[in-house]
Chain A
Amino acid sequence: MRVLIVDDETLARSILSEHLLKLPDVEIVGQAANGFEAVKLAEELNPDLMFLDIQMPKLSGFEVLELLGERAPAVVFTTAFDEYALRAFEVHAVDYLLKPVEPPRLAAAVERAAERMRNRTPAPSAEQLSAAARPPGRTLERILIRHEGRVHVLPLERIDYIEAQDDYLSFAAAGKRLRKQQTMSDLETQLDPTRFVRIHRSFILNVERLARIDLYGKDSWLAILADGTKLPMSRTGHTKLKELIG
């Protein structure tokens, strides 16, 4: 079994690899020290199993899974403290290990992974993964985007507006555009409705950027942003926005 180890602590990686190497049929194909490396290595090396730390700089373990989507290998989460077990279950993790990991427990996790490979259990869907990447009960705080092999982390407050373009969403932030494959309605449900309003079939607006509203024609308006950008607004969008800003 080809294994990838992801943990930001060198010692945590070393003890895991030390114990894994004692198990039969385990080959460690790579080690990643952060979420970015994890995404890159998981795609390049195509491992069967990934040991994934949850708390890491830049990207959490859950966010790594979200970015990998359906290309993600089987996952065993490792964490120092048990507070994510439920979410790990939601993303169909093979197992959930507490550090320091006892060798018999590690062997059992590897065995479960092997079992799952034999049975070909289907991977979780992209929606399940992205929902689990968010702490429970909270709205999205940042958008993860992969663009030309690089991962961009876009905090929501930097977004001016979001435009739907075919199968993609285009995020406008400070004059720059980033594209991500996602649907408008999927994203809309994850956003804080007091900060982001869908003003049009193809536009979601960051309410903070709104400068004024101009009447454009019968039943249509223009949202004028602080930087001068004009966005079309539908009648329902106008009603929603009016309700919010009064």
Chain B
Amino acid sequence: MHPIFKHRGRLLLYLAVWVVFGLLLTVVFVFGAKAPVAWSLEFAVPIAVALGLQSLSFWYVVQAMPPGDTPVTRMAATWAIAGMVSLIVWIALAYGWARWLLPEGQEYSDTATGMLPLLIFAGAIGISLAVLGHYLAGAFQRSRNAERRALELQVLAREAELKSLRAQLDPHFLFNSLNSVAALIGNDTTAARQMCFLMANFFRKSLTLARQQAIPLAEEVSLAETFLAIEKVRFGDRLRTNFDIADDVKDVSVPPLMLQPLVENAVHHGVAHMLEGGEVCVQARRREGFLELVVANPCDPDRPPSRSTGVGLVNVRSRVETLCGHRASVDVDASETAFRVSILLPAVSSHTVTT
């Protein structure tokens, strides 16, 4: 629906502008065509309002041809045709109205036919103003939408930050890791130290990354690697990892903490439930101007239904979609024995984003 109908105030204001246009038209008729004042008023104001209502249809043309995305020639041609059609319809309406106003038994006077050039002129101006107005309104709406999207993005990013803080404080992850450290201190102090470094590294990295808008993929991959290195100390041979990151995507800009929750799910909902363990695969490559990021893991067909499946995934999906709109996608391919998430993002280098 036309957005003007959503607000009564806006609609009234819009119609008031057209009433003013009608009054101006009256003045033109009175002084330009020497028409009687009462008749001019009766004739001009309704047809002006009619032109206003008719012009509301331009909204859909504006929507179909967003400025910037449409070639100028196509825009000009479309508007020429739309304007012409609109003008003809309006003049026909005006003539019908003039005839209706004609006193009983009186013939069409010459004043009406004599008004044709005046009507064409006035109609053309009215229509041009209406088109302009619609483009202004469209631009206003777009800037408001952009503002809202930016706000939404901020909220989602903040949410992800909170989630990541919670993930660092994921009690199972934290206490199990500490338990591993405690165990290692008894028989392998070097490994215990290594584990402390890994944990410090992970917490520090996720704290700094979460505060940023966008980061190079390489940093996100490094965070995921650290996370998996910690989990490998716990799970031993059962957790295997395979990173395949193409060189030409390492500096592609991605929202922070996009990969980490997926890798975490792959471990906690996938490999952790398998007796013999399994391999978490992370793959990134360029595909026709897009970054394709895939996280895949095997899973146990008999695993108990998870209580928290998809929370991380839902968050990743909404952030990716808010950030890149319809040009990005998150696909989930879940079978009995395997789980695979693939994300497609427009490949924008992080250098162009920061400068």
Residues of A within 8 A of B (CB): 8-12, 14-15, 18, 34, 36, 55, 57-58, 60, 80-81, 98-100, 135, 141-142, 153, 155
Q: Is B275 an interface residue (CB 8 A)?
A: yes
- When distances are taken between beta carbons in the complex, the residues of chain A under 8 Å from B105 are none
Q: How far is the CB of B8 from chain A (nearest CB, A)?
A: 45
Q: 11 new A-B pairs (CB below 8 Å) besides A80-B179, A99-B179?
A: A9-B236, A11-B184, A11-B233, A11-B234, A12-B183, A18-B186, A60-B304, A81-B175, A99-B178, A100-B178, A100-B183
Residue of B at shortest CB range from A33?
B275
Residue of B at shortest CB range from A34?
B275
Count residues of chain B with CB under 8 A from any CB of chain A.
29
Q: How far is the CB of B269 from chain A (nearest CB, A)?
A: 12
Q: Are B304 and A141 in contact (CB under 8 A)?
A: yes
Q: Are A14 and B175 in contact (CB under 8 A)?
A: no
- When distances are taken between beta carbons in the complex, the residues of chain B under 8 Å from A55 are 172, 272
Contact of A9 among B171, B180, B187, B274 (CB under 8 A): B180
| B170-205 Cβ-contact flags toward A at 8 Å (1 or 0) | 011011101111111011000000000000000000
Residue of A at shortest CB range from B181?
A100
Q: Is B240 an interface residue (CB 8 A)?
A: no
Q: Is B235 an interface residue (CB 8 A)?
A: yes
- When distances are taken between beta carbons in the complex, the residues of chain B under 8 Å from A11 are 179-180, 183-184, 233-234, 236
Q: Are A141 and B179 in contact (CB under 8 A)?
A: no
Given contacts A10-B236, A80-B172, A142-B304, contact A57 B272 (CB under 8 A): yes
10 A-B contacts, Cβ less than 8 Å apart? A12-B176, A12-B179, A12-B183, A14-B183, A14-B186, A15-B183, A80-B172, A81-B175, A98-B175, A135-B307
Residue of B at shortest CB range from A7?
B179
Q: Are A80 and B175 in contact (CB under 8 A)?
A: yes
Q: Is B96 an interface residue (CB 8 A)?
A: no
- When distances are taken between beta carbons in the complex, the residues of chain A under 8 Å from B171 are 80-81
Q: Are A57 and B234 in contact (CB under 8 A)?
A: no
- When distances are taken between beta carbons in the complex, the residues of chain B under 8 Å from A80 are 171-172, 174-176, 179
- When distances are taken between beta carbons in the complex, the residues of chain B under 8 Å from A81 are 171-172, 175
Contact of A58 among B175, B184, B273, B307 (CB under 8 A): B273
Residue of B at shortest CB range from A10?
B236
| B142-186 Cβ-contact flags toward A at 8 Å (1 or 0) | 000000000000000000000000000001101110111111101
Q: How far is the CB of A165 from chain B (nearest CB, A)?
A: 24
Q: How far is the CB of A85 from chain B (nearest CB, A)?
A: 13
- When distances are taken between beta carbons in the complex, the residues of chain B under 8 Å from A99 are 175-176, 178-179
Q: Is the interface of A mostly helix, strand, loop or mixed?
A: loop
Q: How far is the CB of B100 from chain A (nearest CB, A)?
A: 60
Q: Are A58 and B179 in contact (CB under 8 A)?
A: no
Contact of B302 among A8, A10, A135, A155 (CB under 8 A): A155
Q: Are B186 and A15 in contact (CB under 8 A)?
A: yes
Q: How far is the CB of B171 from chain A (nearest CB, A)?
A: 4
Q: Are B275 and A57 in contact (CB under 8 A)?
A: yes
Q: Are B182 and A100 in contact (CB under 8 A)?
A: yes
- Chain B residues numbered 32-70 whose CB sits less than 8 Å from any CB in chain A: none
- When distances are taken between beta carbons in the complex, the residues of chain B under 8 Å from A36 are 275
What CA separation (Å) do A80 and B304 show in the bound complex?
A: 19
Given contacts A57-B275, A98-B175, contact A142 B302 (CB under 8 A): yes
Q: Is B289 an interface residue (CB 8 A)?
A: no
Contact of B179 among A34, A60, A100 (CB under 8 A): A100
Q: Is B71 an interface residue (CB 8 A)?
A: no
Looking at B171, B272, B302, the one whose CB has the most chain A CB atoms below 10 A away is B302
Q: How far is the CB of A55 from chain B (nearest CB, A)?
A: 7
Contact of B180 among A12, A34, A155 (CB under 8 A): A12
Q: Are A14 and B176 in contact (CB under 8 A)?
A: no
- When distances are taken between beta carbons in the complex, the residues of chain B under 8 Å from A100 are 175, 178-179, 181-183
Residue of B at shortest CB range from A83?
B171
Residue of B at shortest CB range from A60?
B304
What CA separation (Å) do A11 and B302 show in the bound complex?
A: 26
Q: Is B117 an interface residue (CB 8 A)?
A: no
- When distances are taken between beta carbons in the complex, the residues of chain A under 8 Å from B114 are none
- When distances are taken between beta carbons in the complex, the residues of chain B under 8 Å from A141 are 304-305
Contact of B182 among A15, A135, A142, A153 (CB under 8 A): A15
Q: Are A57 and B274 in contact (CB under 8 A)?
A: yes
Q: How far is the CB of A56 from chain B (nearest CB, A)?
A: 9
Q: How far is the CB of B243 from chain A (nearest CB, A)?
A: 23
Q: Are A58 and B182 in contact (CB under 8 A)?
A: no
- When distances are taken between beta carbons in the complex, the residues of chain A under 8 Å from B234 are 9, 11
Q: Are A9 and B273 in contact (CB under 8 A)?
A: no
What CA separation (Å) do A142 and B301 show in the bound complex?
A: 12
Closest 3 CB pairs of A and B: A15-B183, A80-B175, A11-B183
Q: How far is the CB of B136 from chain A (nearest CB, A)?
A: 56
What CA separation (Å) do A57 and B302 show in the bound complex?
A: 10
Q: Is B300 an interface residue (CB 8 A)?
A: yes
| B230-265 Cβ-contact flags toward A at 8 Å (1 or 0) | 000111101000000000000000000000000000
Residue of A at shortest CB range from B180?
A11
Given contacts A14-B187, A36-B275, A57-B273, contact A9 B175 (CB under 8 A): no
Residue of B at shortest CB range from A63?
B304
- When distances are taken between beta carbons in the complex, the residues of chain A under 8 Å from B304 are 60, 141-142
Q: Are B180 and A58 in contact (CB under 8 A)?
A: no
Residue of B at shortest CB range from A154?
B302
Q: Are A9 and B172 in contact (CB under 8 A)?
A: no
